[in-house]
Chain A
């Protein structure tokens, strides 16, 4: 048998990835969050379509009234809405349900091994710790990709079913870009979950800390950098309004913008779906994508390092 570190790495990688995959599929919580996510994916297109139809109907009723009053008739505000904007709610559902599902998925990938006592056994074998960590990362990537692929399939089916939609090549490209950006954001949360599951000694804290970070990323940082209130952050239209033009917001955007990855994700996703109305004062497309990529790299390195330093003899959680 070839015992080079390189072969040990690959011999570890494949079974660890497979094991991560099967453990996640057996976990009821992940399945519950995934089902909630898929239901909302299914509902999102209908919500977008229904809301747009309502605005159209309001316009149809407003025109004769405005004419009778002798007022100027403005153009229909939904007249030039791009088809992909029907999926505007997806931005919110990925940022809420998708992110939480990814976080729990990353967490369970490590915590299941810690609780089952597999870690001391694994680490007593001549395996590569880096291979083990990379295997875990690959299984998180594969699972999140599978989750998003299923969500994309649901989107495509709803697009074909809903009336009045013209599906062009640009629409397909936009949808692929949207899911690529969503993958980057969800992966960051997945890696955060895996990292916290490794470094904390109690399972409760290893769940609560990443949830708190996610809360801060989703609801506190966007308010600091762009005056987006917590509830406005849930609305795909109001979450993209222009930040007030002031020195305060210019300074906070400069300081916190690079770490405000929920905002980066929302900006990129909204741009791809062509629903961005004002965002851009706090970030740019390149800046946002760099922020997501760097966050993923930092978290991946931190996770590999945490597995490398992990004390296998005290692997089980205290609670």
Chain B
């Protein structure tokens, strides 16, 4: 008798073959790569513009016989150019996950094969496990392609070769991004398996995506007093950093609520972890990777716990026989 591992591998392999045949993975990854490339190119162009502006200002001051030492040249850290890249993974990567989850369930419901499969000597665990394995592998392939092209483009655009440490940092972010996108795959998969109408499931998953990826961080960001004034409220007021920290202390409750709203978003956890690892967040720039990961481990745990909770929800919920067909 075929053991469940073989069955699971066969289902997983079929998922990958189907995605390759329908070009779904290529289309979704292509869109993600396009967004990532746009982001890297635009960040490089913006940095170049900043540098040209610095040179012009310095030359003007020098031509007037003034001291230009007060002007600070723009700092260049190649990994900082990945800010928009990570943000696109947060937004478009999550959509990729939802679409894969939708497709994984919809293809069986659309062809009415789901009910047929479950009449065979195959356990529900093996069937769902195979689906999850296959699609997580697709996510890893899609993201690996995006990150590889991104890293290559970063090296070419910046003109600076990436060192082993830089690559390790990118690899760490890639790992966390895979877990994050897999969470949205599970969300789309669970919804499409259980909703009466499949398009409603897709739209409901998009509604959750809107709430968790876009609206929760937006509310947190909007409530940040430093984002209420262009350039930052403390900078506008000319308040030095130590004083800023003192003043912020008296808004502890407000900050806790604001942070709580942001914490509800898995996208924010991926962002905080990635920005720290890549040194985009200034306080982590130049710090050893192990120290940064240790400091941001709570964000990694949040993402892992979300993934585990969704896996549990998928496997513990019995498949509703009335939901196994198209409508």
Contact = CB atoms under 8 A, between A and B. Distances in A.
B49 A249 contact: yes
Given A61-B247, A96-B215, A100-B206, A230 B49 contact: no
Contacts of B88: 219, 230
A interface residue count range (under 10 / 10 to 19 / 20 to 34 / 35 or more): 35 or more
B interface: dominant SS: helix
Contact of A61 (B83, B95, B103, B250): B250
Closest 4 pairs (CB-CB, A-B) = A246-B49, A244-B49, A230-B87, A248-B45
Contacts of B238: 66, 71-72, 74
A47 B222 contact: yes
Contact of A57 (B35, B50, B251): B251
B15 interface: no
A229 B35 CA distance: 11
Given A55-B233, A227-B42, A33 B227 contact: no
Nearest to B250: A61
A232 to B, nearest CB: 9
Given A59-B233, A104-B203, A248-B45, 18 more contacts: A29-B204, A54-B251, A55-B233, A61-B250, A66-B237, A66-B238, A71-B238, A74-B237, A77-B228, A97-B210, A224-B38, A224-B42, A231-B87, A234-B217, A236-B222, A238-B230, A240-B230, A249-B45
Interface of B: 31, 34-35, 38-39, 42-43, 45-46, 48-50, 52-53, 83-84, 87-88, 90-92, 95, 99, 102-103, 106, 110, 198-200, 202-204, 206-207, 210-211, 214-215, 217-219, 221-223, 225, 227-230, 233-234, 236-239, 243, 246-247, 250-251, 254, 271, 326
B225 A55 contact: yes
Contacts of B246: 65
A48 B223 CA distance: 8
A241 B247 CA distance: 26
A69 B238 CA distance: 12
B96 to A, nearest CB: 11
A50 B219 CA distance: 11
B49 A203 contact: no
A245 B221 contact: no
13 contacts: A62-B247, A74-B236, A96-B214, A96-B218, A104-B203, A223-B38, A227-B42, A227-B45, A229-B83, A231-B221, A237-B228, A246-B46, A248-B45
Nearest to A68: B243
